[in-house]
Structure 1
């Protein structure tokens, strides 16, 4: 099970678990909401093996070849990263030009391994998977790892020279704890990017791996153990796997507890799991060794790098919401094929390539075969397209019709909300005009003019806000582009404290992702059972969580007598003419139908 003394085949199994967790999280976030915990597993593995390698050489030779380490590491990292940047930029240049915004900064910061710090200020949230998701977002991890590769060997060698080994061990553990404390202290629900992407706030996974490398060196672990000790190690390993999988399923990335110890806890569990796999006396290494895990593990770097562009570009063309599982399988196959091509054509050949022969190989291009000539021509063409896109002026993409309307309607809603808060009478349209526009009777319009509601939602609600307040001028609308379900309990509490939470509450949540059962309960508990809640189902055919969100809403209505379903998904499902190009936000006609449906539901409940 161990190909040679330093290659632990079970680690490929752990890499498989990690990369599948991340990919399934991206494909089906409602199924594996904690799949992003695969990243700490990768960091733990890196922290362990870098530290073990440095200390072993230091013990044997009294020094460590830092330059040689850099050469090996970056020879491994750069080719796949550069290929991904070139291919993705070329695709964007041809088929997704709005994504060229910030392309220079994205490419340069990735090549300099500081992309994670750039994303803290300029990037989108890792958990915003709807609003123009970037195909580069996931590369923040490579920045964190590369910075560790650059700094840690130097720091560790200095500590080994200046301090006793025992002191170094506890200092490393202390640094890991301080990193986790910093994550908890700096956590801001309005800006998760700082703690999620920051090298300092994510260092605890790397440092826990480093601490394990100092306290659990591979070459000093006993092979022959008594049966009871083997059983203990195996039991601990099995428990660590079960707890890790539970975290994959349950730990929501927007839950404050995740950043106030949750991620640190699962990093400790992952560290224990790594330790059990590494121990030659335990069975976990053998259990996590098989051809599939070996295949995925060896290609895990390429799989991780290519997965997000494949998903982003696929989901720009295909409506995955109706058949999320089928589309997830298709995307997995595409990722596997691209990763295999990368492994065979790029990673393996370059892993053993002697770069001192580059000049001679360049001179021998005339002797290249026709197959090689085609490969070279395609490569040059792809690079040329990417360079063309890279060289374009960096302009903020022009707002489309939907974005401009949402912004305009959001501003109008804010003005109307201010009037309501000040006790001023809101302006109303002519009843006869409203009757014709919304196909309502004069009696219905009259009732709606006086009904008081609070509407809380995301960009879909923001888009329809003007229509809602035109038909129901007493409506207080709090809608925000990109709003997640997890953000809503705090919004409800604020509205209640300000006296703006009326007896009728309309919710439009789920456009940007599925909610946990806990979040749904928090929202409804905040609103209270003395209010009537009208929850609008989601029409998000381009995202895999559409059906999950709608099941959540209907389940909540069954469990709470004061919750009523407004089935916008069912009503609008065969009306593509009601929607803008993104098939999620409505056009003017759609906003009218959407608002009329809300109004009729409220009237029918009175």
Structure 2
């Protein structure tokens, strides 16, 4: 995340001081974000490190601008903008060019919209582009972009652009700091209320998560704190009682932040209707305690490790997603060793961040760009003092050229793969079949509940067509007939969408609702709607857990929505390319022990090591795999139901 150091914004600021503990706060925030992305099961609220970064930036920038106003009676806008660009642009440009080059050379499936992504990031408008074009920040599987995390840098860039102007206007027009503080508080509350009002469920998540207006309260809180708690006006010598009050506030803030890191899921409604707002307030109280020279929090958050991470937090934040996504696209069995792979990714991120800090961020931050003309003249001279160092220009130009080429050929619409075409075809078939299935389900339910008629049905011979279907899916007569005459509601993600035609070939009375990218917290609306209309079958098949981790509480919510009188069959996950595979399957195993009507269909163990059953991603079953998937589902459901007949 962007780093702001206590440096002058105009002439030398006489009283300005560098608050070392802020590096510790940055370190805690960036570690939370990194751990969340690598091991989301272990720290489901780690993404909340971003509001903490916003608060720190809001405080430091405003504090420095106020110091400059007090000393000079004005703010040097152009000097401020120049320093911000020198600090932020070099690493951002290098990350964009390097990532774009890698995609062009090795991962062309990620080329889509590359030109728009780079352009909007350079203009600090990427967060708004994400609102209309990006995927959910919490969708960890379907086409995850190595640029997604840059939304927050755009919000900070917008803040750096307009806040000096607004602050100057407030000082000149309003004048009184208390009144300015009230105005800022009102805007912070308005921003928080807007987030809660606009959030109505998963369909509006992108709007509230990426929107500048719905996320500004964190930065505003930091700015507000600088107005009422300026670092240069705080007394170093305070009473013992005041010192320990500040210390307790700081420690309590850290404790609440840690609790929210572990407990506050990004899919929880409370997150957007108060949770994130509370996180901003807690971060503000921590910044306040750390900024006060009379408290101990600053010293407690100061150590070499935190200092190293904090000073490199911008680079660490920048490079995290490209490293994670490119690594996980190459290492196909992440789930087998999630911790080892996570540690490997951390090492790669830290090494790249250190190199960036040494050779890009720090040198270019202090470079005198006014001398660039002299530099070019010296550089091109035959007897240039730069000598063989000029050879660095070759790979630099190569990187830029390849990235520009990738941007030029990047499609604006994703090209559909064979898998995607298959999913679309099967979804279309399922839509047609669903209407007929719903019409027949009531009759099928009565038949299934009549044990005498059901036994008679099972004794009948198979027709030629029925025999061929049963043979194709490796089912015996009883398994096929039970499956074919049982009403079934199936809800799932792209795995089920890929499989829907095969599933409905065997389960004649199956209603299938499957959507690419669907996650567990989105199942409730579908199930609730069917239940309200009386169209939820006694047997409910669920295939969710591919796209992101899920908690026991989320599973419990689905079980509660389905309600009593239904059997739940949940297919566990085969997603070896993601580190949450083991945790998802363990969560489902616990649910099977907890609920008597909950059954796990073990697709993972059945399919492990059978790469020939899957498309190239080793996650979605191919036509052969769909036959095997359907066989397992039909066999497991039939065997469970046979015990009741």
Q: TM-score range by the shorter chain?
A: over 0.9
More deviation, 416-425/248-257: 416-425
User: C-alpha deviations, 1:545-596, integer Å up to 9, x for none?
Assistant: 1011000000000111111111110010021111110010001111111111
User: In structure 1, which of residues 304, 322, 327 is the aligned counterpart of residue 336 of structure 2?
Assistant: 322
CA offset at residue 274 of structure 1?
0.6
Number of aligned residue pairs: give it. Answer: 604
TM-score computed with the length of structure 2 as normaliser: 0.91
Partner of 2:299: 286
Contact map agreement 2:198 2:204 (CA 8 A) in 1: no
Contact map agreement 2:21 2:300 (CA 8 A) in 1: yes
Of structures 1 and 2, the larger Rg is shown by 2
TM-score computed with the length of structure 1 as normaliser: 0.97
Contact map agreement 2:178 2:228 (CA 8 A) in 1: no
Partner of 1:261: 274
Partner of 1:361: 375
Partner of 1:214: 227
Query: Aligned partners of 1:495, 1:479: CA distance in 2, in Å?
Result: 14
Contact map agreement 1:476 1:500 (CA 8 A) in 2: no
Partner of 1:519: 554
Query: Aligned partners of 2:16, 2:80: CA distance in 1, in Å?
Result: 19
CA-atom RMSD, angstroms?
A: 1.7
User: C-alpha deviations, 1:247-266, integer Å up to 9, x for none?
Assistant: 11111111111111110011
SS of the aligned residue for 1:76 comes to helix
CA offset at residue 317 of structure 1?
0.7
Partner of 2:450: none
Correspondence list, 1:542-553, <5 A: 542-553=577-588
Structure 1 residues 131 and 420: CA distance shift in structure 2, 3 A: same
Any runs of at least 4 consecutive aligned residues in structure 1 with deviations exceeding 3 A, and if so which? 2-5, 368-371, 422-426
Query: Aligned partners of 1:374, 1:501: CA distance in 2, in Å?
Result: 68
User: C-alpha deviations, 1:451-506, integer Å up to 9, x for none?
Assistant: 11111111101111111110011011111110111111222211211222111111
CA offset at residue 370 of structure 1?
6.0
Partner of 2:516: 481
Partner of 1:465: 500
Partner of 1:247: 260
More deviation, 416-425/7-16: 416-425
Query: Aligned partners of 1:535, 1:184: CA distance in 2, in Å?
Result: 32
CA offset at residue 393 of structure 1?
5.3
User: C-alpha deviations, 1:209-250, integer Å up to 9, x for none?
Assistant: 010000111011111122222222111111100100111111
CA offset at residue 208 of structure 1?
0.4
1:539 aligns with 2:574: yes
CA offset at residue 429 of structure 1?
8.8
Contact map agreement 2:479 2:639 (CA 8 A) in 1: no
CA offset at residue 447 of structure 1?
2.3
Partner of 1:420: 437
Partner of 1:115: 126
CA offset at residue 599 of structure 1?
0.8
User: In structure 2, which of residues 310, 335, 347 is the aligned counterpart of residue 297 of structure 1?
Assistant: 310
1:142 aligns with 2:156: no
Correspondence list, 1:66-85, <5 A: 66-85=77-96
Contact map agreement 2:177 2:228 (CA 8 A) in 1: no
1:386 aligns with 2:403: yes
- Could you list the runs of 5+ residues in structure 1 that have no partner in the other structure? none
Partner of 1:313: 326
CA offset at residue 521 of structure 1?
0.8
SS of the aligned residue for 2:336 comes to coil
- Could you list the runs of 5+ residues in structure 2 that have no partner in the other structure? 1-5, 8-14, 445-462
Query: Aligned partners of 1:443, 1:201: CA distance in 2, in Å?
Result: 57
Correspondence list, 1:17-56, <5 A: 17-56=28-67
